[in-house]
Amino acid sequence: MENKSHAIVSGVFVLLVAAMLVGLAYWLTRDDTVRTSYEISSADAITGLQPQAAVRYKGVPVGRVTGIALDSRERGHVLITISVDEKAPVTRATVATLAFQGLTGLSYIQLDDQAGVAPEPLAAAGDVLPRIPMQTNLMARLSAQGGAILQQVEQTTQRVNGLLAPQNQQALVKAITQLGDAAASISALSARAQAALGPADGPGSLNLPQLAEDAGASLRSLRVAGERMGASADAFRQASEDYRKLGQRLGEPGGTLDRLNQSAESLNATAKVLNSSLLPRVNRTTEDTHRAVRQVGQTAESLAEQPQSLLWGKPAIVPGPGEKGFVAPAVK
């Protein structure tokens, strides 16, 4: 009886401790905040978002994600149910985006106000939960526009390469040289005008016909330089357009680069076939030829040592000691 009483007391003690632990856990995890539920319908993927994920209003935690399921009202959409503190200023201007937590890959719901929309209260319509519109996040927009951005970068690179071509560089250098010559002509004209109109020489040294002739020559030089520069600019523009078209033709599917890539792949496949099938056969043929040549050499040596074997055949091998027919050589 005493053992049974000890067992009963121990069991009651364990139950009391377990009940106290459960009560302590409930007291520590209790949440007295009054919350309001909202729905978010997303047409994009919600990678990294899980139930109980955080909901933040402008970076401040205001709730949790309570459910994730497929939207039965809009085909192909994902329905996200969130529970938000009723004190959070959620209005018709509030929009939701999917944000990421550093490098962990986990996501959370970010709430923010949309500019230009009246901040009216967002109320439920009957038994249907109010819906907060979902906006595409920055990463999704970058992924959608990545192809167009790369294409624009490629076009810009091709145009820069066309502008830096040797022909265009020569045209620019020539135009700059012509501008320098025109500036030198203007400087010389200005010096002559100052010398003609200067007070040191007196009014008698003024040579207006020569000054007019020099001015006309300078203007003609400027006009010629301008015409040449315009022609150089046209040639530069035409060369840039030609290089751009050439780059597009080279890079388009089925173009020169694509054909070169296909030719390289064909050559690689041919080399593999030669290496796997033809080269082993060539090696075996070389070994057989070497073996035949060695045998011919041995036969030639035998004929050189015993030419009578060509008529009488190969002589019999003389029996050695201990063999039948052995005859000891006579002792001299």
Domain boundaries, the chain: 38-136, 137-265
pLDDT for the residue numbered 308: 66
43-80: pLDDT as tens digits: 888 888 999 999 999 989 999 999 999 998 889 899 99
At 309, list the tokens: 């074997």
Q: What is the mean pLDDT of the chain?
A: 77
pLDDT for the residue numbered 110: 93
129-146: pLDDT as tens digits: 899 999 887 777 777 777
Query: Poorest-confidence range of 106-110, 120-124, 320-324?
Result: 320-324
- The residue with tokens 């063999």 is 323
pLDDT of 1 above 60: no
Better-predicted residue by pLDDT, 145 or 41 = 41
| Cross-strand bridge partners of residue 81 | 39, 67
pLDDT for the residue numbered 251: 66
pLDDT for the residue numbered 311: 63
162-180: pLDDT as tens digits: 777 777 777 777 788 888 8
pLDDT for the residue numbered 267: 65
- 39 pLDDT band, cuts 50/70/90, is very high
pLDDT for the residue numbered 44: 86
Query: Poorest-confidence range of 85-94, 110-119, 269-278?
Result: 269-278
pLDDT for the residue numbered 328: 73
pLDDT of 197 above 70: no
pLDDT for the residue numbered 79: 93
pLDDT for the residue numbered 204: 47
pLDDT of 88 above 60: yes
pLDDT for the residue numbered 255: 62
Query: Poorest-confidence range of 199-203, 204-208, 212-216, 303-307?
Result: 199-203
pLDDT of 82 above 50: yes
Average pLDDT over residues 256-264: 67
Q: Among the ranges 134-138, 200-204, 252-256, 328-332, which has the highest mean pLDDT value?
A: 134-138
Strands 131-133 and 107-113 turn out to be unpaired
